């Protein structure tokens, strides 16, 4: 029997990529598994600090295979698609394994992002090759083990799902029977990956592994964490960004039956009770004197004015081709068209309000968090508790939506701070108004555009000036180079259209409202701006917007591929639409994938009604077509919600919206039917793999707005849509 030490060696030898388990591992595994923890703060004590499960695959002698899922599951299907990649190359029986979420460890960093982050539509892009190698390495070791046992060459063996077979003799061994022997096999230096025609799993529409536990209430989200003796905390935060507590009177709050403690924090006051509702009752009795800080006068009007004034004055060039803006003739020329496009701040409103549960003991810190960024959560917890990060165990739960909001760790800091002060495990739960009013918002954007058309109505100069706050300035300032936040100009500075003179500028103007990643980030507004202005230009020259794009995308086969597919699906220019219905089209490349959409829209009772969306996506490699279809629908709904109603406004430094009544979400009776086609994708297509979680979003707003322009003849240059 291999010793624990030897066992760890195997783990190290594989670069953290492989770990084959044994019977002696069973106990260790139970303590280690993300959710196999016993309840409560003592659970952290059972985690031996020197044992990080730096592994992706465990095969127990009883045949149970455990696959570790390194990315957070927030609806995008990571928990299904990553096991697909491992199982394909391991030749595991699909579904006959269990999964668990990885703990916080750099071992599980996404190779594309360099950190343990689920975002940027990077899960499959980052892990596609690595997870396949993990599976192939395990399979190779199982083959070698069987070869030794049977005294045959490994080349004479094949695998069938879950077992090794020696066809010449008919001998068969289940993976579990080989697990122990396989662990003493030298780790292969390199492994062969399957070729596309041998895939059994990759490329097949595959139902989600988490569906069964999401239809019976069993899936554990962050808000469901119930370590023993946990108290719920709600926090009254300063309504003005950056404001602090001057003083507070907790007497009335403490007098509420069931309130256990009231704790002052720099940015607010927390009320703790056994249950959420009682804590809220206490919260309503708080008397707090705020120091609102320097943003107390902030208003939407003031912010827009600052952006307008700075858009040219503070402009830094992000990209320039030909003569750039200098090519524009003096104002007054009839061939020059100008427009101002604006997009508002947006909240994320994940269905699961922000929350985090923490226990702080002498042994360390345990955090149960619906997080997109385990490393960041771990750091935030360590800082809040004043301990080394190695003392922090992060359990990733299911996420009730993420959309970028859960890449932040503010809720982790709050939970750990309160758990440490209070001495018992604490679950911080945000109300919906807390969630709407204390978000890291999609940046507001102010855009001035100018274009000159040639005699044929084709653009020969395109100038796009962007002003807005910067996400990277706050999150990672080194990403802002020469004053340009790449996320603010993505989808604009890399304009695909063949225009001889191009200039895109960016003015970083930060009014102070916290901004963060919001599904598809800069593309969420830039696709709207670019694709709608282009549509306006097409109309000026009397061109069909689809044909106009085709001309300008000459030599861009992947853009053309999705554009033509979406048009074909919709019957663009061919199909007779019902009276009052109009088509709009848009295309965008984001996160390595190309997506075009045609929206069929009418106006009902003065409001836009989106009947149908035809969506064509080229993501290079389509690992799970069923998941891709779902993510296209998802991006469309998220983007459509924003286009139709999303707007965060400020007055006196305070967000004016607070719940789904004044910050609405699209409902089923407003939902268009969505048809999805996957084009041009295949492992052997030679295309790099693209993302899926975000690329479905950017084209929807412009497709709808362009359809409305077709319907009304009037451009719509500000979101949300106002007819």
Partner 1 sequence: MAKRPLAPCCPRRAMFHSLNQMLPDAAAGACDVIELTVNDRKLQLDVSEQMPLLWALRDYLGLTGTKFGCGAGLCGACTVHLDGKAVRSCVTPIASAKGKRVTTIEGLSAVSDHPVQLAWIAEDVPQCGYCQSGQIMQAAALLAEMPNPSDAQIDQAMAGNICRCGTYNRIKSAILRAAGNPNQNMALNAGAAVDSGLAQEATEVQS
The CB-of-248 to partner 1 minimum distance in angstroms stands at 23
Taking CB under 8 A as the criterion, the residue among 278, 417, 505, 657 binding partner 1 is: 278
Closer by beta carbon to partner 1, 250 or else 666: 666
Tell how strand 593-604 and strand 582-590 pair up: antiparallel
Taking CB under 8 A as the criterion, the residue among 204, 320, 421, 479 binding partner 1 is: 204
The CB-of-69 to partner 1 minimum distance in angstroms stands at 9
Q: Hey, which residues between 288 and 307 contact partner 1 (CB under 8 A)?
A: none
Contact, 173 vs 158, CB < 8 A? no
For residue 178, state whether it binds partner 1 (rule: CB under 8 A): no
Q: Hey, which residues between 580 and 639 contact partner 1 (CB under 8 A)?
A: 621-622, 625-626, 628-630, 632-638
Closer by beta carbon to partner 1, 5 or else 667: 667
Contact, 676 vs 629, CB < 8 A? yes
**Phi, psi at residue 177, to the nearest 5°?**
-70, -20
Q: What phi-psi label fits residue 564: left (phi over 0), alpha (psi between -120 and 50 degrees) or beta?
A: alpha
Q: Hey, which residues between 97 and 116 contact partner 1 (CB under 8 A)?
A: 97-101
Closer by beta carbon to partner 1, 245 or else 632: 632
Q: Hey, which residues between 26 and 65 contact partner 1 (CB under 8 A)?
A: 33-39, 43
Closer by beta carbon to partner 1, 52 or else 537: 52
Taking CB under 8 A as the criterion, the residue among 153, 169, 218, 284 binding partner 1 is: 218
Q: Hey, which residues between 555 and 574 contact partner 1 (CB under 8 A)?
A: 565
Per-residue string for binding with partner 1, 310-329, x by CB under 8 A? --------------------
DSSP per residue, 92-126: PPTT-SEEEE--S-GGG-BTTTTBSB--TT-HHHH
The CB-of-346 to partner 1 minimum distance in angstroms stands at 12
Helix (H, G, I), strand (E, B) or coil at 594: strand
SS3 percent helix, strand, coil of the chain, rounded to 5, is: 35, 25, 40
d(CA 228, CA 441): 35
d(CA 166, CA 362): 54
Helix (H, G, I), strand (E, B) or coil at 217: coil
Closer by beta carbon to partner 1, 306 or else 679: 679
CA distances from 230 to 223, 224, 233, 358 (A): 12, 11, 10, 9
Determine whether 445 is exposed, middle or buried from the number of CB atoms within 10 Å of its CB (0-12, 13-18, 19+). Answer: buried
Pick the piece of the chain touching partner 1 (CB under 8 A) from 121-129, 202-210, 438-446, 489-497.
Answer: 202-210
| Six-digit token string for 485 | 């936040």
The CB-of-596 to partner 1 minimum distance in angstroms stands at 13
Closer by beta carbon to partner 1, 68 or else 112: 68
The CB-of-638 to partner 1 minimum distance in angstroms stands at 7
Contact, 150 vs 138, CB < 8 A? no
CA distances from 233 to 102, 249, 282, 289, 349 (A): 27, 17, 10, 20, 20
d(CA 316, CA 136): 48
Taking CB under 8 A as the criterion, the residue among 171, 208, 320, 540 binding partner 1 is: 208
Number of residues that bind partner 1 (CB under 8 A): 115
How is residue 372 annotated by DSSP?
S
The CB-of-630 to partner 1 minimum distance in angstroms stands at 6
Contact, 680 vs 565, CB < 8 A? no
Q: Hey, which residues between 219 and 238 contact partner 1 (CB under 8 A)?
A: 219-221, 223-227, 232
| Six-digit token string for 405 | 């909001």
| Six-digit token string for 178 | 């080989």
Q: Hey, which residues between 460 and 499 contact partner 1 (CB under 8 A)?
A: none
Residue among 694, 524, 516 nearest 121 (CA): 694
**Phi, psi at residue 573, to the nearest 5°?**
75, -5
Q: Hey, which residues between 143 and 172 contact partner 1 (CB under 8 A)?
A: 161-162
Q: What phi-psi label fits residue 491: left (phi over 0), alpha (psi between -120 and 50 degrees) or beta?
A: left
Taking CB under 8 A as the criterion, the residue among 49, 114, 207, 329 binding partner 1 is: 207
Taking CB under 8 A as the criterion, the residue among 211, 284, 305, 333 binding partner 1 is: 211
**Phi, psi at residue 655, to the nearest 5°?**
-70, 135
Pick the piece of the chain touching partner 1 (CB under 8 A) from 141-149, 205-213, 535-543, 584-592.
Answer: 205-213
The CB-of-51 to partner 1 minimum distance in angstroms stands at 17
Taking CB under 8 A as the criterion, the residue among 12, 48, 62, 96 binding partner 1 is: 96
The CB-of-264 to partner 1 minimum distance in angstroms stands at 24
Helix (H, G, I), strand (E, B) or coil at 453: strand
Taking CB under 8 A as the criterion, the residue among 17, 119, 344, 353 binding partner 1 is: 353
Determine whether 528 is exposed, middle or buried from the number of CB atoms within 10 Å of its CB (0-12, 13-18, 19+). Answer: buried
Pick the piece of the chain touching partner 1 (CB under 8 A) from 73-81, 336-344, 471-479, 495-503.
Answer: 73-81
d(CA 267, CA 715): 43
Q: Hey, which residues between 646 and 705 contact partner 1 (CB under 8 A)?
A: 659-661, 665-669, 671, 673-674, 676-683, 685
Do you find a cis peptide bond into 720, omega within 30 degrees of 0? yes
| The residue count for the chain | 723
Closer by beta carbon to partner 1, 34 or else 648: 34
Per-residue string for binding with partner 1, 360-379, x by CB under 8 A? --------x-----------
The CB-of-549 to partner 1 minimum distance in angstroms stands at 20
Q: Hey, which residues between 384 and 443 contact partner 1 (CB under 8 A)?
A: 395, 397-403, 429, 431-432
Closer by beta carbon to partner 1, 350 or else 567: 350
The CB-of-547 to partner 1 minimum distance in angstroms stands at 22
The CB-of-203 to partner 1 minimum distance in angstroms stands at 4
Helix (H, G, I), strand (E, B) or coil at 702: helix
Taking CB under 8 A as the criterion, the residue among 75, 103, 375, 698 binding partner 1 is: 75
Q: What phi-psi label fits residue 611: left (phi over 0), alpha (psi between -120 and 50 degrees) or beta?
A: alpha
């Amino acid at each position: 029997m291999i010793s624990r030490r030897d066992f760890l060696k195997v783990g190290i030898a594989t670069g953290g990529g492989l770990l084959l388990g044994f019977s002696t591992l069973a106990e260790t595994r139970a303590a280690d598994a993300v959710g196999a923890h016993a309840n409560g703060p003592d659970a952290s004590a059972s985690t031996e600090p020197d044992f990080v499960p730096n592994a992706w695959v465990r095969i127990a002698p009883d045949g149970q295979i455990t696959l570790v899922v390194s990315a957070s599951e927030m609806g995008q299907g990571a928990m299904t698609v990553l096991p697909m990649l491992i199982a394909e190359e391991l030749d595991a029986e699909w579904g006959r394994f269990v999964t668990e979420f990885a703990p916080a460890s750099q071992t599980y960093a996404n190779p594309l992002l360099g950190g343990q982050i689920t975002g940027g539509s990077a899960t499959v892009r980052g892990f596609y090759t690595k997870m396949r190698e993990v599976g192939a390495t395990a399979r190779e070791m199982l083959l070698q083990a069987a070869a030794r046992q049977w005294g045959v060459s490994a080349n004479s063996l094949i695998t069938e799902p879950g077992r090794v077979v020696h066809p010449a003799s008919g001998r068969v061994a289940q993976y579990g029977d080989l697990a122990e022997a396989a662990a003493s096999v030298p780790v292969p230096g390199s492994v062969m990956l399957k070729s596309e025609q041998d895939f059994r799993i990759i490329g097949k529409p595959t139902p989600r592994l988490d569906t069964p536990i999401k239809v019976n209430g069993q899936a554990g989200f962050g808000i469901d964490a119930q370590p023993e003796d946990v108290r719920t905390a709600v926090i009254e935060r300063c309504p003005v960004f950056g404001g602090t507590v001057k003083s507070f009177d907790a007497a009335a709050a403490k007098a509420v039956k069931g309130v256990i403690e009231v704790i002052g924090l720099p940015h607010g006051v927390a009320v703790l009770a056994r249950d959420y509702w009682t804590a809220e009752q206490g919260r309503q009795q708080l008397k707090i004197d705020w120091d609102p800080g320097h943003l107390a006068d902030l208003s939407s009007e003031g912010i827009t004015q600052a952006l307008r004034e700075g858009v040219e004055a503070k402009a830094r060039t992000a990209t320039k081709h030909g003569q750039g803006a200098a090519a524009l003739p003096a104002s007054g020329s009839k061939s020059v068209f100008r427009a101002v496009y604006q997009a508002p701040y947006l909240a994320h409103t994940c269905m699961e309000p922000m929350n985090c549960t923490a226990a702080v003991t002498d042994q360390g810190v345990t955090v149960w968090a619906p997080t997109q960024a385990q490393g960041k959560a771990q750091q935030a917890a360590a800082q809040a508790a004043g301990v080394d990060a190695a003392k922090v165990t992060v359990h990733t739960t299911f996420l009730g939506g993420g959309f970028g909001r859960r890449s932040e760790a503010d809720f982790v800091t709050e939970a750990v701070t309160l758990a440490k002060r209070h001495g018992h495990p604490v679950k911080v739960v945000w109300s919906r108004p807390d969630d709407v009013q204390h978000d890291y918002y999609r940046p507001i954007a102010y855009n001035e555009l100018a274009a000159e058309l040639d005699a044929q109505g084709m653009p020969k100069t395109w100038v796009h000036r962007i002003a807005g706050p910067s996400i990277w300035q706050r999150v990672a300032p080194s990403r802002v180079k020469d004053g340009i936040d790449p996320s603010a100009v993505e989808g604009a500075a890399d304009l695909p259209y063949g225009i001889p003179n191009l200039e895109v500028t960016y003015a970083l103007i930060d009014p102070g409202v916290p901004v963060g990643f919001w599904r598809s980030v800069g593309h969420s507004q830039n696709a709207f701006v670019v694709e709608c202005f282009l549509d306006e230009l097409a109309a000026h020259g009397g061109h069909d917007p689809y044909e106009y794009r085709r001309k300008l995308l000459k030599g861009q086969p992947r853009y053309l591929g999705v554009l033509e597919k979406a048009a074909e699906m919709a019957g663009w220019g061919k199909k007779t639409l019902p009276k009052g219905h109009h088509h709009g089209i848009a295309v965008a490349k984001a996160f390595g994938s190309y997506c075009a959409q045609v929206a069929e829209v009418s106006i009902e009772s003065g409001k836009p009604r989106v009947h149908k969306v035809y969506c064509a996506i080229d993501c290079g490699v389509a690992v799970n077509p069923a998941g891709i279809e779902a993510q296209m629908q998802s991006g469309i709904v998220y983007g459509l919600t924003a286009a139709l109603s999303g707007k965060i406004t400020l007055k006196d430094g305070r967000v004016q919206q607070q719940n789904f009544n004044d910050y609405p979400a699209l409902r089923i009776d407003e939902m268009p039917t969505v048809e999805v086609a996957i084009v041009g994708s295949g492992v052997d297509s030679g295309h790099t793999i693209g993302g899926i979680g975000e690329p479905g979003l950017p084209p929807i707003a412009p497709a709808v707005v362009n359809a409305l322009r077709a319907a009304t003849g009037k451009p719509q240059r500000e979101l949300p849509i106002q007819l």
